[in-house]
Structure 1
Amino acid sequence: MASPEIDQLTQMLAKLPGLGPRSARRAVLHLLKKRETVLVPLMAALANVNERLTTCSTCGNVDTRDPCGVCRDDRRDRSLVCVVEEVADLWALERSGLFRGVYHVLGGRLSALDGVRPEDLGIETLASRVAQGGISEIILAMNATLEGQTTAHYVADRLATTSVKITQLAHGVPVGGELDYLDDGTLAQALKARLPV
């Protein structure tokens, strides 16, 4: 029904989280209808991000600068490091506006089924950050999944010989839940009620 180029655009959009084939077709139709006000600026924004996108060498966040905006913010408490699985988790915590420390993105979680080992994650770079000094507390903000909790325990064991206080989010986070999908109130309670590991 549509040209191969439009079909390809629809198929690419359908690969995005939350968009199925029908939603992707509606999005494509909207883009085509609003070509000058939506499609052209969207293409420019995508090209700009694609050219400038980088991973922060300090924390693992994605940004168009290195270090990222969070790491460059002088108002942040650098003695408090929140460890998350993915960038989406960092963004969820930032959206709440409640955490004023810095982050460390592991880049995933341990999973024997998926073949993700400790050396595949940013655990050693976290250990190096702790060894440099200046960090008083590590908050383990892993998702409340089996793999997330396994990763949290592994990180806690890895840092057990340091003098850094290690805490984790409270159990207000539902089992099987992921940080990116939680509301701000649940995130607030989880941060306030964190417990030692």
Structure 2
Amino acid sequence: MKLNILVGGPKEQWPKKLVDGNVRGPWIGVDRGALRLIKLGITPELSIGDFDSMTESEFNLVSNHSKKIKIANPEKDDTDTELALREAISGFKFDSVTIYGATGGRIDHLLANLFFIFREPFNTMFEKICLVDKQNSIRFFKPGKYQLIKENDKKYLAFIPLTPVKNLSLIDEKYTLDQINFVNPISLASNEFMGDTGEFSFESGVIIVIQSRDDEK
């Protein structure tokens, strides 16, 4: 099962299919993300958050149109994204999780939505997670050999070692690497597929892979 989560990032960063209400599957809505889902005609399986920024009528709308609602303490250690993922892990069976609304806006929120993968229990399942906005899809990889499938609307490909990485090879992309080590985080940006797929491999560390396109003007 593919599970979807909507957190509270700017609507301007939503992909068109979400704007049009065409993302299928069960949903978790986080705080104002739950309200936005309901306004799209989507009934969240779970709405979670402290909801302290909502008016009474907005909160009633979320309460009446969610299958389940959970109110969180405003003073919490988890970010909204982490809160939703903890509920997903404990309450849902899923093969993958796509998170929307996790980019744009405050940079500290964006960084939190990239670095949470090092915390338990997310560090055991982050390869199942994808962050999506209107220009990017972001995935996390443990060591191994992989074949990426090019997304039709994306042109660029980036490989970002988050930790020291050993023997990174970009096998058939436009710009290749052959078993290169990286000690510090770096963005190997603006690479491209040469066909419909691209292979890469590495032996240790954690890598983010981003497929992206320029913004439409």
Q: What's the TM-score bracket when you normalise by the shorter of the two chains?
A: 0.3 to 0.5
Structure number with the higher helix fraction is 1
TM-score (ref. length: structure 1): 0.34
Query: Whose radius of gyration is greater, 1 or 2?
Result: 1
Pick 1 or 2: higher relative contact order, CA cutoff 8 A, min separation 6: 2
TM-score (ref. length: structure 2): 0.32
